[in-house]
Amino acid sequence: MERVGMTGANGFVGRALTRALLKADAWPVSVVREGVAFEPGFEAVHLRSLDAITPDAFEGCASVVHLAARVHVMSDAATNPLAEFRAVNVDGALKAADAARRAGATRFVFVSSIKALAELDPGRPLTETDARNPPDPYGISKAEAEVKLQEYGARTGLEIVIARPPLVYGPEVRANFLNMMRAIAKGMPLPIGAIDARRSMVYVDNLASALVECARHERAPGQIFHITDVEDPTVADLVLLLGKHLNRPARLIPVPASVLKTLGRLTGKTTQIDRLTGSLRVDSNHIRDVLGWRPSFSLDAGLAATAAWYRQSVSALSGTRG
């Protein structure tokens, strides 16, 4: 059975990738931080940090998928956020790639982000050939890591594959997507009924299956792939679909985008409002054309599974409190 190394294996995407690898008859070798609980029965390598990574972590692995990262946060308390992002997302990625190559792996899949390109689209879906114009320290670090890994691969012969997902959702999702479900479930009125901005997304199991192809397909080396569900719902449609699956019809108020933008300027939340009212569409034709990959789950099926997980979580929590 082919061994595939993974960093960040205990994260949201990492757990889905573990399932996808096993389904594809590959054996995941999971690199996780010391002190992090990991599911019994799976092979795990515990490290203090990526700084301590050595070739031993990837012994016998044909390829490595690098998921570990310092993730984007809305309010960063770091004195120098860019330096912090670079230390993990750039330096850490290069150290992992070097350890993978020295262990004998021939391919390194770097899970980047669409934010390595942009925060919003230019009036059309973003493609892999668009120039990098990252909007913030997180995006800058991902863009820099892409370039440096490509240079490293050209210099050493290690096959580099770059995967750029947009918003990832699914059971166990956190951050803004979880907050949105909470608001819908509580029946909170949301002022987005007039927003027609479209957003590309990817269900976590769709992303995981695409990463398996990135790690194993003979045509993947040297490529950059955007990975999406293909469907690009409006923000309002997304909320309506979630409301349907949460069994709680969403309450949408049709506030014009211009009014929301004015409120954003007055409250110092211009960036958040621009993100809400602007489109971020991503073209994922390239991975379908080159690797023949197709998403297994539709947007509606992915949202249904995510909402079911949320309902079960709330029910379990209520039972615990009771």
Q: What pLDDT sits at residue 213?
A: 98
Q: What pLDDT sits at residue 41?
A: 66
Are 197 and 236 in contact by the 8 Å Cβ rule? The answer is no
Which letter does DSSP use for residue 80 in this model?
S
Amino acid at 86: R
pLDDT tens over the chain, length 322 residues: 899 999 998 889 999 999 999 999 999 999 888 777 666 667 888 787 778 899 999 999 999 999 999 986 655 667 888 999 999 999 999 999 999 999 999 999 999 999 999 999 999 999 999 999 999 999 999 999 999 999 999 999 999 999 999 999 999 999 889 999 999 999 999 999 999 999 999 999 999 999 999 999 999 999 999 999 999 999 999 999 999 999 999 999 999 989 999 988 988 888 888 888 899 999 999 999 999 999 999 999 999 999 999 999 887 766 655 4
Residue 60, sorted as left (phi over 0), alpha (psi -120 to 50) or beta, turns out to be left
Amino acid at 178: L
Is 310 an active-site residue? no
Q: What pLDDT sits at residue 88?
A: 94
Residues whose CB falls within 8 Å of the CB of residue 182, separated by 6 or more in sequence, listed in order: none
Concatenated DSSP letters of 81-92: HHHHHIIIIIIH
Q: Which residues of 210-241 are buried (b: 16+ CB within 10 A; e: fewer)?
A: bbbbbbbbeebbebbbbbbbbebbebbbbbbb
Q: What pLDDT sits at residue 77?
A: 67
* The token pair that represents 203 in the structure block: 């269900």
Are 105 and 62 in contact by the 8 Å Cβ rule? The answer is yes
Q: What pLDDT sits at residue 40?
A: 61
Among 149, 168, 76, 53, smallest CA distance to 110 is for 149
Could you give the domains of the chain?
2-172+202-230+281-296 (3.40.50.720)
Q: What is the distance between the alpha carbons of residues 237 and 250, in angstroms, rounded to a whole number? A: 10
- Helix (H) or strand (E) segment spanning residue 65: strand 63-66
For tokens 């999702």, what's the residue?
A: 173
Which of 138, 169, 203, 310 does the annotation list as catalytic?
138
Q: What pLDDT sits at residue 280?
A: 97
pTM for the model stands at 0.94
Q: What is the distance between the alpha carbons of residues 127 and 82, in angstroms, rounded to a whole number? A: 25
Q: What pLDDT sits at residue 46?
A: 78
